[in-house]
Every structure is written in structure tokens, then in C-alpha cells.
Structure 1
Amino acid sequence: MDLVTPYKRLATPSDLEDGVGEQIAKAINPIIADALALYVKTKNYHWHLAGPHFRDYHLMFDEQAAEILAVVDPLAERVRKVGGTTLRSVGHIAQLQQVKDDDRDFVESRDMLLELMNENKEVAARMRAAHAVTSDVNDVATTSLLEEYIDQTEERTWFLFEAAQEA
């Protein structure tokens, strides 16, 4: 059996130009890795929150984590639909993620808000860069998804910013 054959079996046909699937995978897979890392970081803060605004922040972090996780499958499936391959393991995520892990035993709630605000802001910037790639190769479907996800990320950034003002 040819070693290339299994990959060829994953090379979904597309009307986009040859090689575009690989370009899109290279642009989108780090976004997916960041989403998974940001999901875990947001849930970490959700689980380890303490302080006077516990209920409000606990619920906000949970809502935001669910929204973040919801982008993973559509983006990964877009990569596959255009003939690329996507993430395969936690190790692969770790190689691509730019969201920083937070393994501290305790984080003040205001620091959580600011940390998540900054991470979301940086993720939005990386989504914009991926948007430029998908737009340049005429992948309107992935470009459209990114536009929606950038808006969601900006909203999370806004909510976290406003919450940090009172914390």
C-alpha cells in the first residue's frame, strides 16, 4: 500500500484551486487550537472562581466557554470540506495554540477577566489574519464563518472589559 494513499482518501474534492485546502488548513488549524485552549482556560476560571461577583462571572465564563467550543467543529469541518486535514491530538493543539495556559493555583477574579479579555482580543486578531487568507483564496464559506466568530470574540472581549471595570 502506498503511504500517500490514506491522505489521498482524505483529500475531499473542491472547486477551489489545487493547494487551497492546505493553505486554509494552515490558517484555520491554529484558530481551532486557540479555541480549544481558550475553552479550557475559560472553564478553568469558571471552576476556580471566588469572590463577591462569583455568580455573575461564573455564569458569564460558562456561557463564553460554550460559545468558544461551538466554533471548533464548524471550522474543523470547513478544513475537511476543502480538502485539508485538521487537528488530531492534544499534542497537535499544544504545537499550534498561542493562547497561554494558566496553571496557577489561584487567580483573582479581576485578573481572570483581564487575562480572558486579552486572550480574546489576540484571538480576534489571529482570526482576522486567517480571514485574509480565506478571502484571498475565495473560500467564502470559511470567510463568512470567521466574520461571525470575530464578532462573537469581540463581544466576549467587550463583556470581559466591562466586567473588569467593577471587579
Structure 2
Amino acid sequence: MARTATPRSTAKSGSRVTRSSPVASGKAAAKSAAPSKASSLPARDAGSNRLDTPSDFAPEAVLAISDALKVALADTFALYVKTKNFHWHMSGSHFRDYHLMLDEQSEQIYASTDELAERARKIGGTTLRSIGHIARLSAIKDNDAEYVAPEDMLRELVNDNKTLIRSLRKAHAVADEHDDCATTSLLENFIDTAERRTWFLFEAARTPDRDGR
């Protein structure tokens, strides 16, 4: 009995016969019709990793402000770690009062870090990237001593808060020079809270005179 042959699609190229699959042909057609992903990206994003957040500040202003904010942020992180260090290693008859005060202050300091970093990003700048970056920029020194007397802890934090205030003021001056009122407003609040911490630490560490003053 003769078999009925199944019809197949064939195409001749010279004397050679090639067979085409309907599925493969469909995939090839779809691939050729699909737009290239690279060509659909905006020109400035194609092959670029720039963090160029849109801003109306001149490039030199963005650089100056974000660099000043980096220094302030580095001092802020360094102060946070030292305040936590002294909070954890507090001792003595005023343990509870000092321990709780430093815990409150460390939370306040840490809360400002994200705002400082994000302010730099909002204007198109960059911010800190590592612990090493913090160490290179911060003027606040570590204290790795095995034991520090409670009053010495507070006095050291007084000076460290004053160091932070100076870097915040410098950043404020740079922002003000470039008419960046949002940054100056943010920094003014942080300067005020740092001055309040300095006041509390100073009074807590001060030895009263014979009249109790």
C-alpha cells in the first residue's frame, strides 16, 4: 500500500534544498521586529553610571556643597560612634543619668545622618561610601582606651560636638554662598541641636563650687 507523503515547505538555493520550521521562522520574525533595548534608552543613560540627579545648581555649586556635606556627615558618624562607645562603657555613681543622656544624644545624632546624605543626593551630588571614607574626612578622633572616667567622657564629647558644629557652620557658609536655602535651613537645625547637646554635656560634667553653683 502506498504511503501518502506529508507536504513540507522547501526553499531552493541553487541546487541545495533547505527546510524551514514555522516556529523558528516566527521567532526570527519577532526578533527582527522587536526594538533594541539599548536604543530605547535615553541617550544620557546608555552605557552610563552617572548619578546626575536633575538640579538647577551649577556643577561647581553641586560639587562644593556636596563636598562640604560629606565632611559634616563624616564628623556626624564619628560623633555617633563615640557617643555610643561612651554610652556602652559608662560607669560610676551617675551611671543611669549619663547612660540615658548619651543614648538619647546618640539617637539624635544618628537621625541626622540620612538627612545630610540625602540632601547631597537631592542636588545631584554624592555622599559617603564607606567607613574608610568617614575616617579620611572626619576631624573627630577615636577613643579606644580601655577605661575613660565618666567626667572625661562628657568633656571629650563637649569638644567633639564643638568640632561637629564647626563643620556644620562651614557647610552652611558654602551653601549660603550658592543660595542653597534648603541646605542652610537643614544645617541650622542641626547646629542648634548640637549646641544643645554641648550645653547638656558641659553642665553634667561641671564640678559645682562650694555654693553648689
TM class, shorter-chain normalised? over 0.9
- Map 1:138-157 onto structure 2 (within 5 A): 138-157=179-198
Encode CA deviations 1:81-138: one digit per residue, 9 max, x unaligned.
1111111111111111111100000000000000000110121112111100001111
For 1:104 and 1:58, locate their aligned partners in 2 and report how far apart those are by CA, in whole Å. 18
The amino acid across from 2:184 in the alignment is T
Aligned to 1:95: 136
Q: Which is higher, the Rg of structure 1 or of structure 2?
A: 2
Aligned to 2:19: none
In structure 1, runs of 5+ residues without a counterpart are none
Out of 52, 71, 74, which is 2:115 matched to? 74
Aligned to 2:166: 125
- Map 1:95-114 onto structure 2 (within 5 A): 95-114=136-155
In structure 2, runs of 5+ residues without a counterpart are 1-44, 209-213
For 1:11 and 1:73, locate their aligned partners in 2 and report how far apart those are by CA, in whole Å. 19
Give 3-state SS (helix, strand or coil) of 2:116's partner.
Answer: helix
Out of 75, 100, 106, which is 1:34 matched to? 75
Aligned to 2:36: none
Out of 84, 97, 102, which is 1:43 matched to? 84
Structure ranking higher in helix proportion: 1
Matched, 1:59 2:100: yes
Encode CA deviations 1:40-66: one digit per residue, 9 max, x unaligned.
000000000100000000000000000
Aligned to 2:126: 85
Give 3-state SS (helix, strand or coil) of 1:92's partner.
Answer: helix
The amino acid across from 1:145 in the alignment is L
- The two structures have a TM-score, normalised by structure 1, of 0.94
User: 4+ residue stretches of structure 1 with deviation over 2 A?
Assistant: none
Out of 59, 62, 65, which is 1:21 matched to? 62
Q: CA deviation at 1:30?
A: 0.9
Out of 35, 48, 69, which is 1:5 matched to? 48
For 2:147 and 2:177, locate their aligned partners in 1 and report how far apart those are by CA, in whole Å. 44
Residues 124 and 150, structure 1, Cα contact 8 Å, conserved in 2: yes
For 1:59 and 1:160, locate their aligned partners in 2 and report how far apart those are by CA, in whole Å. 12
Q: How many residue pairs were aligned?
A: 163
Q: Which structure ranks higher in relative contact order (CA pairs < 8 Å, sequence separation ≥ 6)?
A: 1
For 1:68 and 1:142, locate their aligned partners in 2 and report how far apart those are by CA, in whole Å. 17
* Same amino acid, percent of matched pairs: 56
- The two structures have a TM-score, normalised by structure 2, of 0.74
